[in-house]
Structure 1
Amino acid sequence: MASDPYGAFARDIQARLRTARELESGAERDPSQYTDLRATLTTLRQDISDLRQTVRAVEQSGPARFGLDEKELALRRVFVDTSEREVARMERAFREQDTYADTQPSTSLAWEKEQQQRLLSGQNRALDTMGTSLHTLRSQAELIGTETGEQLGLLQDLDTRVEHTQSQLEQAVRRMDRFVARVDARMHGWCVWLLIAVLLLLLLALLLV
């Protein structure tokens, strides 16, 4: 009976699969373990390929030559296929992790760009608001300037009227002063003549007595 190397191959593959699972689990906490996982998966891929060739050799030589039946041969095929699928799964997860790591810088740059765009948008909105406020203030300042100009015009007109009225009052006062002076002069003359007349009457009365 020919020697069957399947047992040794299968035990090595099972041991490496356990190691790969442990590395895969630990790599989630310690990314540095992905390096060991990569090497283990590479070795497993080669070992499984060798084991598949061994199973095919048994198929070609005839299972009976190695003391095997079709059921045992089917179990070996299942083991090889299952091991190969598990390695493929871990390789996909490993590639996804590499892809994620490779895209991190671009993702970070995209995030930073988005933040900068948001910041610029906020600044633009603030500038627009400030511009609107400045426009409103300028409009109010122009309105206040116009109203102030109108008020100054009214005050100047009022000053002119006051000056004119004051001039008229001064003229009226001067006229009144002249009138009073004339009246005083006339009254003073009448009083003198009246006193003279009274004195004459008194003198005449004394003479007659």
Structure 2
Amino acid sequence: MATDPYHSFAAELRNSLRSAQELAGTYSKGSASSTNTNTDSRRAAHDALVDALEALEADIADVRESVNVVSRSPERFGLDEQELGNRRRFVKDCEEQFKRLSKVPGERPTTTRKYAPDAGDADADLERGASRGDDDVEAFEREQQQSLLAQQDNTLSLIGRSLTSLRTQASAFGTEIAEQVELVGALDSEVDTSQSRLKRAMGRLDEIARRSDDRCGGWCVWLLVVVSAWGRVIRFSWYCLVA
């Protein structure tokens, strides 16, 4: 079964949503007193809330993408329509809360006195820009990893189906070979039986031939004796007539 990234993304989204809600509450309380003395703190709270909302938006996008991925083939992740519906409702609820929270910051607070932006603000802007760039790189790498994992899952599925087909063919070959072995064994038994019968038949024929030879030999002797006796009788009769 393929790995479902939803739960880890959803946990990060809940943490981001909770942090954004806390920062929004802090900023709203600070905005209630609009004096110049707390402008810097309100600006810091505003920037922190904006950063939290950006992180929240990115987390919502990750969860939404994970839901879209599993929706294309939920059976691979062992999900049903009820679970998919719960996840879609969770994403929709987070998007609605994000819209409400996005209305809280408004414009960045400014002071009434003129001042030049200090180096700290510039460094903070650079850090936020670098952080956003890192987030984009991480999102791209995460997307690439998910794509590679999906390709690996497809490849493993194809290999699994090929192995199953080979196992089925091997089982069929084994069954056929076993049947052929049984047929060869039966044929050997029939050949042995036929050879035994043929040997017995040949023995009987030899016995009959031997007995026939013995009988023919005896009759020939008696026939010669009779012929010889008749010859002597005829010769004796001839002598008697001549004499």
Choose between structure 1 and 2: higher helix proportion.
Answer: 1
With structure 2 as the length reference, what TM-score do the two structures score? 0.42
